Structure 1
Amino acid sequence: MKQNGSFQQIVEREKGLSKGLTTGQISMIAIGGAIGTGLFLGSGFAIGQAGPSVIISYAIGALIALLLMGCLAEMTVAHPTSGSFGAYAEHYINPWAGYLVRYSYWACIVAAVGVEVTAVAVYMSYWFPSVPGTVWIVVFSAILIYVNATSVNLFGSVEYWFSMIKIIAIVGFILIGSYVVFGGNNPEIGFQNYINDGGFFPNGWSGMWIAVVIALFSYLSIEMIAVTAGEAEDPQTAVPKALKATVFRLIFFYLLTLTLMLAIVPWAGAGIEKSPFVKVIEFMHFPGAAGIMNFVVLVAALSAMNSQLYITTRMMFSLSRAGYAPSRFGKLNKKNVPVYSLLLSTIGIAVAAVIHTIVPDQAYLLMMGISMFGAMFTWLMIFVTHYFFRKKYSGEKLAVRMWGFPYLTLLGALLMLSLLFTTWFVSFFKATLMVGIPWLILLSLAYYLHQKKNKDVKSDIHSKSV
């Protein structure tokens, strides 16, 4: 029981957060994070890279997400805490690994907040083309910071309804799209669009594989469920249930919507200047429907941003309580919210505002490239951590077990490593490793200096006591 007992020290130091999130809210938080710009805006970029074979790209991304779900569910049920995969890496690999994972994930989600808020500016320009995007970035950021600073219950309620709007809209899109594809008589619509313009693989297998990286960005945020365990009413039941439901919903939504989208609008017309969903609705000529769809994708971006602010705040809280960040960020307000961590985690909004002002046409891709490394590194480390977890865990019998261990755990790690390596050969993802590798080196140096300082302090205390 040594391993299990020593992990309890991590659980104790992260106490204080409210236990107010229900299973339904947890599922919606993860859906809120994942069904954001990845589906509504980023999918256009992925289609442009892979053509119709983007369906395979998203299927590969779904496979990786399923494997990740299995690993996370097992570890989270054994140890429900807000530090989550960062705390697991600290305990089952070593403290350095936990330090790298938590800071990389924090930075990644901070940048992802910037991606979402950049998308908000894109969507608002649909109605207000003359208003600078920076105005919308400031206005909507202020509202969501308030929601997150008030209480976890308010956050959970807002996120629940944000996500519900998205789900209703996607189901509506699927129903309407199915009718148009299977019940209409328009010769321009149909599955012949899959092969009309360069075939199913217009950019070859390499184009399909590159789109997997973008697809992975779309699935990013399912890991948020593990972080909510620290504030769940019944984490042992809620977390695995929410993980399973969320992953299967995401796979269904992504693959079915893309399948219909590609049959309705030729893939060559995809892009990121406007959501592909809006383009499809415009193509169908439903009066006023494009404006409604633009509202939905706006809600999607705000919802994802809301979830990401929550998660990055908890990760910084965990770092502070572990002694790896100033103690101020581990303090809670009267509503048990780590408000200082929240304010620090709004850096991504400021960066997005600056980038959007300087290069508005490239802001979305730049923020996406910056955030990509932390996301991919975190997912890679979750697979690696699970391997160590299974080898070292000595607590009670595991209530949830990852199937196919160790082969599927290692397959997940290999796929993530391959995708990370791929980013180096893609011009618009060069920033991923160019930023990521120096980031890990700087973090490792910071960890070394932190440990050395702590060792010197302890040595001074010991010498004085003697």
Structure 2
Amino acid sequence: MNESNGFQAIAGREKGLRQQLTSAQMSMIAIGGAIGTGLFMGSTFAIGFAGPSVLISYAIGALITLLLMGCLAEMTVAHPTSGSFGAYAEFYVSPLAGFLVRYAYWAAIVLAVGTEVTAVALYMKFWFPQVAEWVWILSFSAGLVLINAISVKTFGRFEYWFSAIKISAIVGFILLGAYLVFGVSGNGYGVHLYSAHGGFFPNGIHGMWIAVIVSIFSYLSVEMIAVAAGEAEDPQRAVKQAFRATLVRLVVFYLLTLALILAIVPWNTAGTGTQSPFVTVMQETGIPGATGLLNFVILVAAVSAMNSQLYTTTRMMFSLSRAGHAPKAMGRLSQNGVPLNALMLSCVGIALATLVNLIYPKESFTLMMAVSMFGALFAWMMIFLTHYRFRRYHERNGGLQLSFRMRLFPWTTLLGLGLMLAILVTTAFTEVFRMTLVFGVPFLVVLVVAYQFGLRKRSAAGEVALEPSSR
């Protein structure tokens, strides 16, 4: 089977989705997906682990993310499809790899939806402390499911404006923070706080490295640009444009905001408690109404990330169904081209979040984050491996003329793969993230068994599985 016929057969299974996302929407979706609870809430845990050295942690996370975006952009420009990196793994690595990547990633993002909706409930307590959190979980979930159910164009419009609010707020926060640190003297703010309270590495190199895990959780969802490419009006142009925008904005938004936070609030204050360090900074300024305004922005960020994650999980389940790895009903489309059944199934994360929040109200966010990490880390690691196989395949077979290339191959790809493997292994030696492998490894074993059983069942039924190319 040659590459052209082989991958076209995979992409052809996913026909029917509407290509209605504009380049502007794709760019905002790319950066907006990465600005959510991971930055606004997860940074609290990262600062607590690393102290001021969290800046190095997020720089390492940014490096991995940019390497990942480069690999993913190259493959997506060549093959824009909603199955994305799951479909690429199926063809360039093996059908089993495609199955594992799709399901592991789907499970991760479904649980990530749970962390976002849990965070939404926490943020609403700022204004309504007496209202039970599950009320907000169900209310916001219903609204976002409706947005995703109408059409991809509706999703794109809402996500564009959600992202615009987040980006505008972060720019405003940076300007305000810079003024407080560099424009006003005698307030005690400044970079000298980086070395106070235990120094730049108060918890050693170990603490800095643990915070890298949180940074990856924060950057999670940048990869959804590759999934959305299957419904873009001009996927090649949109992916290239989104990749370039992400390069600059990720570094500026994450590293600059964290640097300013740590120059205003001592790390041992910003890294404790249940509220976002952004809110802590605004409380420090004493500006009337500023805390409430920022809490609203953080709420929008969580709602936006949840909206994006519902979209991504829906398309991944749709891809699994069209590949024969999930019930056929999950691959059916509404009149507006939306896989509604897959959307409903992807709401399982909301139900889990509600249950966990009722049983473990104080630990719900960290528990959901730890469990959801495995699929995300595994999927990112497999993207690097798939890109290595993708490039080697085309070098040997003289296939596609690639209009976008990852620089310094294979070293950049192998660096990303090695760092992701190291992070995944590190979770086993941390108390907070130990559940990542405790949940993830058995889950992966179950998936392998399910795949083998399903393969035998399809073979017995006389169905011919799509075989990978010889490599």
Report the TM-score when normalising by structure 2: 0.96
1:334 aligns with 2:338: no
| 1:67 corresponding residue in structure 2 | 67
Q: Give the one of 395, 408, 416 matched to 1:412.
A: 416
SS state at 1:303 partner: helix
Separation in 1, partners of 2:251, 2:327: 39
How many Å separate the matches in 1 of 2:112 and 2:30?
Answer: 14
Instruction: Write the mapping of 1:404-443 to structure 2, written as runs, cut at 5 A.
Output: 404-443=408-447
For residues 130-164 of structure 1, the C-alpha deviation after alignment (integer angstroms, 9 at most, x for no partner) is 11111000000000000000011111000000110
Please tell me whether residue 213 in structure 1 is matched to residue 213 in structure 2. Answer: yes
Deviations 1:308-337 (A, max 9, x none): 000000000000000000000000001100
Matched, 1:450 2:454: yes
Partners in 2 of 1:333 and 1:102 — Cα distance?
22
Superposed CA deviations along residues 398-447 of structure 1, whole A, max 9, x for unmatched, are: 11111111111111000000000000010010010000100110000000
CA deviations 1:323-366 (Å, max 9, x no partner) are: 00000000000110000000000000000001111111101001
Gaps of 5+ in 1: 461-466
SS in 2 for 1:157: helix
In 1: Cα distance, 2:132 partner to 2:261 partner: 30
CA distance in 1, matches of 2:177, 2:447: 47
Instruction: Write the letter of the residue equivalent to 1:444.
Output: V
Say whether the 8 Å CA contact 1:22–1:233 is kept in structure 2: yes
> What letter corresponds to residue 288 of structure 2 in structure 1?
P
* Distance in 1, Cα, partners of 2:186 & 2:124: 31
- The whole-number CA distance in structure 2 between the counterparts of 1:151 and 1:420 is 36
- Paired residue secondary structure (1:399): coil
Query: Could you tell me which residue of structure 2 aligns to residue 51 of structure 1?
Result: 51
CA distance in 2 between counterparts of 1:459 and 1:15 reads 20
Query: Is 1:286 aligned with 2:287?
Result: yes
Deviations 1:356-414 (A, max 9, x none): 11111101001100110000000000000011111113423111111111111111000
1:116-195 alignment to 2 at 5 Å?
116-195=116-195
Using the alignment, how far apart are the partners of 1:370 and 1:27 within structure 2? Answer: 29
After superposition, the Cα gap between the structure-2 partners of 1:180 and 1:387, relative to the gap in structure 1 and judged at 3 Å, is: same
Deviation at 1:184, TM superposition (A): 1.2
Counterpart code for 2:344: L
Residue in structure 1 matched with residue 390 of structure 2 by the alignment: 389
Give the superposition deviation at 1:38.
0.8
The amino acid of 2:234's aligned partner reads D
Bigger mean CA offset, 102-111 vs 19-28 = 19-28
The residue that corresponds to 1:361 in the other structure is 362
- Separation of aligned partners in 2, 1:247 and 1:86: 23
SS at match of 1:458: coil
Percent pairwise identity: 61
How far apart are residue 455 of structure 1 and its match? 1.2
Residue 310 of structure 2 corresponds to which residue in structure 1?
309
Q: Structure 1 pair 417/459, CA: closer, same or farther in 2 (3 Å)?
A: closer
Which position in structure 1 is the counterpart of 2:259?
259
Q: Is the 1:71–1:409 contact (alpha carbons within 8 Å) kept by the matching residues of 2?
A: yes
Q: Which residue of 1 aligns with 2:407?
A: 403
Stretch of structure 1 that moved more, 184-193 or 406-415 = 184-193
| Alignment correspondent of 2:8 | 8
Amino acid at match of 2:337: N
1:42/1:272 contact within 8 Å kept: no
Distance 2:249 2:314 in 1: 26
Partner amino acid, structure 2, of 1:390: R
1:69–1:244: 8 Å Cα contact kept in structure 2?
no
Where does structure 2 lack aligned partners over 5 or more consecutive residues?
Answer: 465-471
Instruction: Give me the whole-angstrom Cα distance separating, in 2, the residues matched to 1:250 and 1:321.
Output: 34
Distance in 1 between the 2:415 and 2:113 partners?
A: 30
Counterpart-to-counterpart distance in 2, 1:375 and 1:407: 22
User: How many angstroms does 1:187 deviate by?
Assistant: 3.9
Alpha-carbon distance in structure 1 between the residues aligned to 2:126 and 2:24: 33
4+ residue runs of structure 1 moved beyond 6 angstroms? Answer: none
Measure the CA separation in 2 of the matches of 1:396 and 1:93: 17
CA distance in 2, matches of 1:88, 1:396: 14
Contact between 1:65 and 1:247, CA under 8 Å: does it hold in 2?
no
Count residues in correspondence: 460
Counterpart for residue 464 of structure 1: none
Q: Report how far residue 272 of structure 1 moved.
A: 5.1
Report the 3-state secondary structure (helix = DSSP H, G, I; strand = E; otherwise coil) of the residue aligned with 2:129.
coil
Asked whether the equivalents of residues 45 and 272 of structure 1 are also in contact (C-alpha less than 8 Å), the reply is no
In 2, the alpha carbon distance for the partners of 1:454 and 1:144 equals 36
What is the rounded CA distance, in whole Å, between the counterparts of 1:331 and 1:449 in structure 2? Answer: 24
Q: Which residue of 1 aligns with 2:40?
A: 40
Deviation at 1:271, TM superposition (A): 2.9
The residue identity in structure 2 corresponding to 1:359 is Y
Q: Go from structure 1 to structure 2 and tell me whether the alpha carbon gap of 1:459 and 1:162 turns closer, same or farther (over 3 Å shift).
A: closer
Number of the residue aligned with 1:95 = 95
Return 236-245 or 383-392, whichever deviates more.
236-245
